[in-house]
């Protein structure tokens, strides 16, 4: 099957995160030999300064049931990162966001889950503010929790295995980006 921009796809990228001109079906790309593709992670910050963590639904292909950042996804061909974040926030969490901004533009990782499925993403990381309350889709998110940035950093230090590998790797790099004022609440 030839993958086109009308299919639910991912954009394949080279080691520097530049599109190769190839697409792959999102439903088929994650395997034991996943090619590097474009993704993103987003951390949502509430008005009270707490960060939204989500627990991935048990039906997810990779890292089912694992706690992670607020939302993840794959920008489609020609889709801007803010538009991809808005689309996935609605799809996963039934919520609107405002002020998304990229804070780790060059983050990338390779990780293998317990079933042998590999994630291989060039994955810019963004933070955004909560515009509406979450109403998670059960096929995407089985639970959610609002935590302070300090609690999240402590979780990464003491129990990183409870989080997705990308979240555990991103949080130490985020520093003050997780707070509105640069101070922990």
Catalytic residue numbers, as ranges: 72, 121
Dihedral (Cα; 130, 93, 161, 48), 10-degree rounding: 20
Beta pairing partners, 102: 126
Which DSSP string do the residues of the chain spell out, in sequence order?
A: ----TTSSEEEEE-TTS-EEEEEEEHHHH-STTPPPEE-EEEEEE-TTS-EEEEEE-TT-SSSTT-EESSEEE-PPTT--HHHHHHHHHHHHHS--EEEEEEEETT-EEEEE-TTSPEEEEE--EEEEEESS-----TTTEEEEEEE-HHHHHHHHHH-GGGB-HHHHHHHHHHGGGGSSSSS--
């Amino acid at each position: 099957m030839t993958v086109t921009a009308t299919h639910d796809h991912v954009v394949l990228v080279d080691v520097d995160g530049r599109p190769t001109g190839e697409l792959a079906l999102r439903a088929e790309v994650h395997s034991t030999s996943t090619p590097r593709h474009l993704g993103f992670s987003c951390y949502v910050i509430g008005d009270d300064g707490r960060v939204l963590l989500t627990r991935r639904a048990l039906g997810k292909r990779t890292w089912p049931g694992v706690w992670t950042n607020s939302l993840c996804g794959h920008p489609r061909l020609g889709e801007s990162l803010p538009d991809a974040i808005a689309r996935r926030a609605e799809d996963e969490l039934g919520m609107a966001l405002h002020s998304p901004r990229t804070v780790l533009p060059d983050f990338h990782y390779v990780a293998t889950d317990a079933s042998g499925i590999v994630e291989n993403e060039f994955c810019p990381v963004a933070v955004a503010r909560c515009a509406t309350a979450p109403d998670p889709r059960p096929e995407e998110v089985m639970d959610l929790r609002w935590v302070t940035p300090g609690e999240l950093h402590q979780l990464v230090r003491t129990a990183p295995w409870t989080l997705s590998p990308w979240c555990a790797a991103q949080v130490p790099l985020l520093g003050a980006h997780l707070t509105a004022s640069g101070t922990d609440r």
